Structure formats: C-alpha cells, structure tokens
C-alpha cells in the first residue's frame, strides 16, 4: 500500500549515523539529498567541492579513489569514485551517469531486454553488465582494505550510475565483501537493470535499497517491462497497463521505489511505493503511460532531482546558489538524447 510523506530538509546536511540498523529499512530524505550531491559530483572532474559542501569537516570524508575506464568500443567511459570516513566508519561508492549521447544509445534503454546472466542472480542488460565488470575491481579493492573491512557501505548513482550501483550492491553481498545489513543503496532515475529473477535476488541480498524517481522521469520506464495482458484499463484512462509480475522476459525493477509525483523542493510530498506489482507499484511512476514521441517533461524530470539539474550541479561543485533552466521544448526520442546532455541538436 502507499503512504504519503512530508519531510523537511536543507541541502547542507549535518551527517548520518555510521552503523546501519533497522531504521535504514525506512526511506530518509536527508540521506537521499546527501547522496544526490555525491551522485552529481560524479559528473565533475573533481568531486572535492561537492564533498566539502555536503559534509562537515568533523565527518572527515576522504576521497579514497577515482576511476574511469573505457566502457565500450567507441570509448565512452564508465566512471565514479569512492570516499571513506573513519569517523562514521562508512565507505560510499558513487557511479557516474551517462556521459555521451552515443553511450545512451549503446545502452539500449529503449529496445534491449535483459539477456546476460549475472552470477546466477538472473538476467541483466548486457551494457550494464559490461560496465559493471570494468569497474568492479575498484570496488572490490576498496572494500577489501583490511582497515575498512567492517565499515558499512553506501552505493549510489544517477541514471547509468544508478544501474551500475544496482549491480555492484548485490555482488558485494554475493561475493561476501559485506553482509546484507552492512550495505545501503539509494539511486536516482535508475533504468530497469535486469529481469524478474534478478529483482527477486536483489531484494533478498540488499534489503536497504531505494530507487528515487522524479514525476514522469522517462528513464525508469526503460527498457520496457512485459505488460500484464490480463489487466483491462478503465474506460477513459490513458491505456496504461501494469508490468506482468510473473514474466521473466522483459525488464523488471528491483528495490523499493520512492516517487515524487510533483516537484522535489524541500517539503514536497513523496510516495513510498509498496503496492503491487512488487517493485513496479502501478500506483506510482509506472502508472502514467509513457509516450516516446512526447518526452518533453520526462527528460527534464530525469535531469532534475531535488531542485537541481544533476550533471550541471555536480560540475558546478554543488553550489546551492546555482540556478537552472526550466523544461526543454523538444519532443521525441531525440529530445531524450539532447535533453539528458543539455546539447542542441545540429541541423541536418
């Protein structure tokens, strides 16, 4: 069932507890805002300004490593960074979102269904699996450092970064680097990473996990799930249909969705999506029918979380005085490409 919540927070937050516990099974917007800053910082060449604006000096959040590897045959990167706090006894793994328009198309968000086995957990998107394999060593090495072996782990990312977070987190538990109660995931605008089997395995391995979705952000609808053909849309509706909770053939989300149906400014209401189908609650972001020929608001919502344009905000050092433009005016699949990256389409 659904629950409406109101939460007051500010952008510069005082910190979080270093040891995960039962409270971490509940969504915490203060925590999410902190991690959104870090996800934004991954788009920058230097995460330090965002770290300094997000944490107090007493928390001693230190940049442990950065990584950027060739992710495909064109040379697009999969990248991120890892920070550690000895004070909080925490490690935070952050993955960067999609960097270029060619990378977006190679990811196959609009067409491909999960087809690559992921360590017996189910099938996942082949591009995401490849990106995971190329970045995994950095995660494994950091979590294997003896002095950090008991530190709890946050994993986060926006867009593609959310997908890579969605693969790294269950593997951390699967490979025995941490126990389930020692890891927490919050992602933003995450696409469907795997199929139903993967969703079930993920939820068992990573119980402290939340997918934050903004209004009609188009990316969480991609790749498409298999629709439940037994459902009859009500007369006068837009014809939207829920995902089939029994099909393993298409994409299927994992983790609990937290949906902000309007804007995401301080105090905005959000919904904890615990309805059916599990992880694809038909009363939340999956309810509106997605039209790829009219994605004006969907692409804008993807770029904008908690009142900031995520890539630009990170590149600007998470400066809270930054201002951002309103929704784009283009429509169609090409607007998904141009709006995600803030580029104008060239005349042809």
Confirm whether 159 is a catalytic residue.
yes
Burial per residue of 230-255, b for 16 or more beta-carbon CB atoms within 10 angstroms, e otherwise: eeeeeeeeeeebbbbbeebebbbbbb
Sheet strands (E) in 88-238: 90-95, 116-117, 123-124, 152-158, 183-188, 209-214
Residues, the chain, total? 348
* Contact of 271 with 4, CB cutoff 8 Å: yes
User: Annotated catalytic residue: which of 158, 199, 302, 339?
Assistant: 302
User: Annotated catalytic residue: which of 152, 197, 217, 279?
Assistant: 217
**Sign of the dihedral defined by the CA atoms of residues 113, 164, 333, 299, in that order:** positive
> What is residue 24's DSSP assignment?
G
- Residue 195 and residue 174: Cα distance in Å, rounded? 18
User: Annotated catalytic residue: which of 159, 199, 285, 339?
Assistant: 159
Confirm whether 302 is a catalytic residue.
yes
For residue 69, report the phi and psi dihedrals to the nearest 5 degrees. Answer: -125, 155
Active site residues: 159, 217, 302
């Amino acid at each position: 069932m659904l629950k409406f919540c109101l939460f007051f927070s500010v952008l510069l937050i005082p910190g979080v507890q270093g040891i995960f516990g039962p409270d971490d099974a509940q969504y915490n917007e203060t925590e999410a805002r902190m991690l959104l800053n870090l996800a934004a910082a991954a788009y920058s060449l230097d995460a330090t300004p965002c770290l300094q604006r997000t944490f107090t000096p007493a928390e001693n959040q230190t940049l442990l490593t950065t990584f950027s590897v060739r992710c495909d045959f064109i040379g697009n990167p999969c990248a991120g960074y890892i920070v550690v706090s000895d004070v909080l006894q925490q490690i935070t793994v952050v993955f960067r979102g999609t960097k270029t328009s060619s990378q977006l198309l190679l990811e196959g968000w609009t067409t491909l269904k999960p087809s690559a086995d992921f360590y017996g957990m189910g099938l996942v998107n082949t591009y995401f699996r490849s990106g995971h394999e190329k970045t995994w060593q950095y995660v494994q090495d950091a979590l294997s450092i003896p002095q950090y072996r008991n530190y709890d782990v946050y994993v986060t990312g926006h867009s593609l970064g959310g997908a890579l977070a969605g693969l790294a987190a269950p593997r951390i538990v699967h490979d025995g680097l941490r126990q389930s109660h020692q890891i927490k995931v919050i992602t933003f605008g995450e696409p469907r990473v795997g199929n139903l089997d993967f969703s079930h395995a993920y939820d068992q391995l990573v119980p402290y996990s939340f997918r934050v979705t903004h209004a009609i952000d188009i990316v969480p609808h991609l790749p498409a799930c298999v629709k439940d053909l037994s459902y009859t849309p009500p007369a006068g509706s837009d014809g939207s249909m829920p995902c089939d909770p029994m099909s393993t053939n298409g994409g299927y989300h994992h983790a609990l969705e937290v949906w902000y149906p309007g804007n995401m400014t301080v105090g905005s209401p959000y919904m904890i999506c615990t309805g059916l189908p599990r992880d694809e609650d038909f009363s939340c972001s999956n309810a509106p029918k997605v039209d790829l020929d009219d994605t004006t608001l969907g692409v804008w919502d993807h770029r904008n979380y908690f009142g900031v344009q995520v890539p630009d905000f990170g590149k600007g050092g998470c400066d809270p005085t930054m201002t951002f433009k309103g929704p784009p005016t283009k429509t169609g699949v090409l607007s998904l490409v141009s709006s995600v990256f803030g580029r104008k389409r060239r005349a042809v």
